[in-house]
Amino acid sequence: MGAIRFDNVGRIYGTKQDGFEALKGVNLDIADREFMAVVGPSGCGKTTCLRFVAGFDQPTSGIVSVDGVQVTKPGPDRAVVFQQFALMPWKTVCENIELGLRNKGVPKAERIKKVNDILALMSLTSYADAFPHQLSGGMQQRVSIARAYVLDPEVLLMDEPFGALDAQTRVVMQEELVRLARRNPRTVMFITHAVEEAVYLADRVAIMARQPGRVKEIIDIRSVREAERWDDHEKIEDVMDLESFVHLRTQIWRSLRQEKAMEIA
Amino acid sequence: MSRKAAVGSATIVAALALWFFATTMTQMISPGRFPSPADTWVAFKQITGVGYANGVLIDHVVRSVVLVTLGFLVAICTGVPLGLLMGWSRKAEALINPVFLVIRPIPPLAWIPLAILWLGLGDMAKILVIWFAAFVPSVINAYTGVRNLDKPLIEAAQMLGTPFSTFVREILLPGASPMIFTGLRLSLQASWTTLVAAELVGAMTGLGRVLNAAQQDLFPGMILVGMIVVTLCGWVMTAALGVIERRALSWNTATRAGD
Amino acid sequence: MRIFNTQNVIVLGLIGFGGFLGFWTLLSVSGLIPSLFLPSPASVIERFVFLLSHRFAGGTLIDHLWASMLRFGGGFGLAVLIGVPLGLLMGWFRLLDDIVTPLFDAVRFIAPIAWVPFAALWFGTGIGGPIMIIFAGAFPPCLINAYRGAKFADPRLIEAAQMLGTPDRRMITEILLPSAVPSIIAGLRISAGLGWQSLVGAELIVASTGIGYMMVQGQGNVSTTTVMAGMIGIGFIGMVIDIALRRVEEAILRRRGLSV
């Protein structure tokens, strides 16, 4: 189980009277095992929303809950994959992945097995004893994803996980994530500003608007993907060529562009 | 009042109360080891009134502060130009650096016996020892200041055909001055510590002499008064240097108050 | 412009150093300054070597240096053992920070040397007093740098660790401590320098063994060569301590893939 619920959530920075209203009346439901991508212009507060679920930050009004329980602090049931990887530079790949399991009190033998399984799954086995700085950005992000997945969390929170990667690596990682997510579905909240990425990965896409930040529109992808059998295509570029994909992408782009136009006017 | 300030002042009040409680009410700490607030007050009245160790408090303070200022000025007037020279000219650096590397590891306080041997217990020995103490940080930081100067800035000045004297006055000195001031702060602290130590080793007046006499007389109240005054004087001089620094470097937004 | 190579640097360095020694020798040998007050470099070295195997003021130079280093080890070790953990704890627990910081600020501006009278009164002049003075010199940088290292640890790493459910204890030992290590080592270098120099001060004033004591005795006997030999010994040990700490620093930074 791992259903996320935003109930009329707001966030004001500074004092209530003359503070800056970053988020207002955000309502969003992410079902158990649903992959929800969140897109929006910069400054719309999408990262802040993710940080509420992670428990790094608290809303000033409204409630953020997971399975009906209000989120108050960070915990391993809601694993986060950070844009900048956030791996401990003084720990090896193996030790980084192991940390969460040790915190949970998993016995050593079981830890080793779990870590080895996830290393194999993410093609990291030969890098088990490397330090993060010896790896490329893509490899580091793999470790970061492995660190989150190994905890078998209810909820996976990804904050522009591929934003710091080059274009080629990004495509490979997107394909891998799709495989991972289809095989072992989790509730995922995925922040991105790349529309193609959102359409390719998600079951639904939430479009946010700014000033104040709020959810403007939610687009269903899954029904189209299943009807048009996207998953039969192995390569991302083949999916992106499909008419149904292009249509959805354009629809989201229009919605985002409207925002821009209003901003300029 | 913020939480931080509240907890902070509560702690200070608690510490003072504990001092009073442990020394005066219960005598948990014997008055021969640490003075009670009353003992401290008595010592303070004595040194400001009839005097202690050859003078009243103000005599000791003036003597120590004047000596530090003199020694410090001599040190920076020699150290900073040498550092600038070493930073600017590779030749000068190569020539002087080995000698400097040998002298540098000798801690300031280790010069005290030599200074006393050469010049006795008088003022000149104190100034000499402060000079040695404050010299090294002035040189190092002036040197680093020049070395860290923005290369394009120097090239731009050369491209504009700036004559050397103008260049030194308007590019080199201002550019290196944040580092120079960092060095001056370190120098001043070293000067003050060294003077107190030198006066503890041997002097007729001065705050170190007060500490020394109080130690020999087993007079904890006076020791505490001496320590507090030494600390306050050091703090005031550092703060004064900070004010000068802020005036001199008003163009530099990165300048922070004495830290 | 002529190319400025290593060879030139070495040649100029030798000229500079040779000139310095030559000038010193000249002043001394010519009698311009009585050799009693400015002995020639050769006689200082001679005295240094002599003192390595002959007793002066109760022991050889090695004995005195050894006594000093033991005191230093005691005071510095104590400062590290208390200062670093306390600094890390203050960097993690805000209440502790709010309580300790005002007390610490009130005492840290006291020059270590000003503790001499109380140190002598409380712990005597043998080993306890000097250790306290070294501690007074070495403690603040240990605490401040551990605290800053913990406080300025990358917030993303702390969030990542929180997300992984890391308990407080492990947060300090496995996240904050390693984050703060570069800052702590830098602090240890400052701390060792201040501690070593406070030790010399303490020994000049109160001790009856140690390198500082030997120098005071040399001064009392108007033996300038002994004083200068002592300065060489002090400078040498101080340099060795700093180089050792710098090696540790470089090794740690290299392991993290950071430039030195």
- Tell the residue number behind the tokens 């340099």, with chain if given: C239
| Residue A219 included in any domain | yes
Q: Return the pLDDT at A260.
A: 64
Does residue A235 form part of some domain?
A: yes
A218: domain CATH number is 3.40.50
| Residue predicted with more confidence, C171 or A226 | C171
The size of chain B, in residues, is 259
Which CATH number does the domain housing residue C60 bear? 1.10.3720.10
> Domain residues of chain B, as ranges?
1-30, 35-248
Both C46 and C1 in one domain: the answer is: no
Point out the residue among B114, B214, B230 whose CB comes nearest to the CB of C231.
Answer: B114
Which residues in chain A have Cβ-Cβ distances shorter than 8 Å to C257? 89, 131, 133-134
Residue C29 shares a structural domain with residue C147: no
The reply to whether C15 and C31 lie within a common domain is yes
Please provide the DSSP assignment of C129-197 as one string: HHHHHHHHHHHHHHHHHHHHHHHTS-HHHHHHHHHTT--HHHIIIIIIHHHHHHHHHHHHHHHHHHHHH
What is the rounded average pLDDT for all residues in chain C?
Answer: 89
pLDDT one-digit tens code per residue, B124-142: 899 999 998 889 889 989 9
Please state the CATH superfamily assignment of the domain spanning residues B35-248 in this structure: MetI-like (1.10.3720.10)
Say if residue C17 is in the same domain as residue C89: no
Same domain, C10 and C81: no
Domain for residue C9, yes or no?
Answer: yes
Summarised one tens digit per residue, pLDDT across range A65-75 is: 888 888 888 98
| CA–CA min distance C170, chain A (Å) | 9
Residue C260 lies in a domain: no
Q: How far is CA C199 from CA B216, C82, C255, in A?
A: 20, 19, 33
Name which of C45, C123, C125, C197 to mutate to probe chain B: the one with the most chain B Cβ atoms within 10 A of its Cβ.
C197
Q: Measured at the alpha carbon of residue A72, what is the angle toward residues A67 and A76, in degrees to the nearest 5?
A: 70
Q: Quickly state the pLDDT bin for C226 (edges 50, 70, 90).
A: very high
Q: Are A31 and A3 in contact (CB under 8 A)?
A: yes
Q: Which of A128, A101, A121 is nearest to A179 (CA)?
A: A121
Please check whether residue A132 lies inside any domain of the structure: no
The token pair at B246 is 């802020």
Give the closest-approach CA distance of B173 to chain C in angstroms: 24
Whether chain C has a CB inside 8 Å of the CB on B116: the answer is: yes
Q: Which two tokens stand for residue C223?
A: 């033996």
Q: What is the pLDDT of residue C106?
A: 81
Structure confidence at residue A154 (pLDDT) = 85
Tokens, residue B51: 């005097």
Contact residues on chain C for B226, CB-CB shorter than 8 A = 114, 117
Q: Tell if the CB–CB gap between C164 and A76 is shorter than 8 Å.
A: yes
Same domain, C25 and C141: no
The four Cα atoms C20, C21, C26, C32 give a dihedral, to 10 degrees, of: 70
Residue C172 lies inside a defined structural domain of this protein: yes
Over the stretch C69-79, which tens digit does the pLDDT of each residue have?
999 999 999 99
Q: What is the pLDDT of residues C6-55, one digit of tens each?
A: 788 888 888 888 888 898 888 888 888 888 888 988 899 999 999 999 88
pLDDT band at C161 (very low <50, low <70, confident <90, very high): very high
Tokens describing residue B131? 């000079």
Is C178–A80 a contact, with Cβ atoms under 8 angstroms apart?
no
Q: Do C99 and B11 touch (CB under 8 A)?
A: yes
Q: For position C138, what pLDDT does the model report? A: 93
Q: Kindly state whether residues C116 and C223 are assigned to the same domain.
A: yes
Confidence tier at A175 by pLDDT (50, 70, 90): confident
Same domain flag for C61 and C31: no
B193 touches chain C (CB under 8 A): yes
Question: Span B79-85, mean pLDDT?
Answer: 91
Question: What's the token pair of residue A61?
Answer: 């009004």
Q: What is the pLDDT of residue C162?
A: 92
| Contact across the interface for B94 and C239, Cβ inside 8 Å | no
- The structural domain count of chain C equals 2
Q: Domain range for residue C18?
A: 1-35
Q: Which two tokens stand for residue B159?
A: 């491209």
CB contact (8 A) between residue A74 and residue C163: yes
Beta-strand relationship, A69-70 and A78-81:
unpaired
Instruction: Return the top range by mean pLDDT from A227-231, A236-240, C153-157.
Output: C153-157
For B225, the token pair is 């008064």
Percent of chain B with pLDDT strictly greater than 70: 96
B49 touches chain C (CB under 8 A): no
- Could you tell me if C221 and C124 lie in one domain? yes
Q: Over 60: is that where the pLDDT of A265 sits?
A: no
> Domain count of chain A?
1
Count of residues making up chain C = 260
Q: Which chains touch C (3 or more CB pairs under 8 A)?
A: A, B
* pLDDT exceeds cutoff 60 at B255: no
pLDDT band at B257 (very low <50, low <70, confident <90, very high): very low
Which domain does A203 fall in, by range? 4-75+194-264
- The answer to whether position A33 is within a domain reads yes
Chain B residues with CB-CB distance to C14 below 8 A: 98
**How confident is residue C159, by pLDDT bands cut at 50, 70 and 90?**
very high
C-alpha–C-alpha distance, residues C45 and C26, integer Å = 16
Q: Which residues from C are below 8 Å from B109, CB to CB? A: 113, 197-198, 200-201, 204
Confidence of residue C1 (pLDDT cuts 50, 70, 90): very low
Minimal Cα–Cα distance from C193 to chain B, Å? 8
Contact of C90 with chain A, judged by CB distance below 8 Å, is answered with no
Q: Which residue of C has its CA nearest to B104?
A: C235
Closest CB to A54: pick one of C163, C167, C255: C163
Confidence of residue A244 (pLDDT cuts 50, 70, 90): confident
Q: B223, C121 in Cβ contact below 8 A?
A: yes
Retrieve residue B96's tokens: 């002087």
Per-residue pLDDT of B199-250, as tens digits, reads 888 888 889 999 999 988 889 999 999 999 999 999 999 999 989 988 888 7
pLDDT mean over C130-141: 93
Q: Mean pLDDT throughout A185-194?
A: 88
Residues C19 and C43 in one domain: no
Residues 6+ apart with CB under 8 A from A252: A39, A195, A198, A199, A205, A207, A219
B105–C242 CB contact, under 8 Å:
yes
Q: Cβ of C235 and B192 within 8 Å?
A: no
Check CB contact of C242 with chain B, cutoff 8 Å. yes
**Which of C167, C255, C257 lies nearest to residue A103, judging by beta carbons?**
C167
Contact between chains at B8 and C102 (C-beta distance less than 8 A): yes
Question: Is A262's pLDDT higher than 70?
Answer: no
- ipTM metric: 0.84
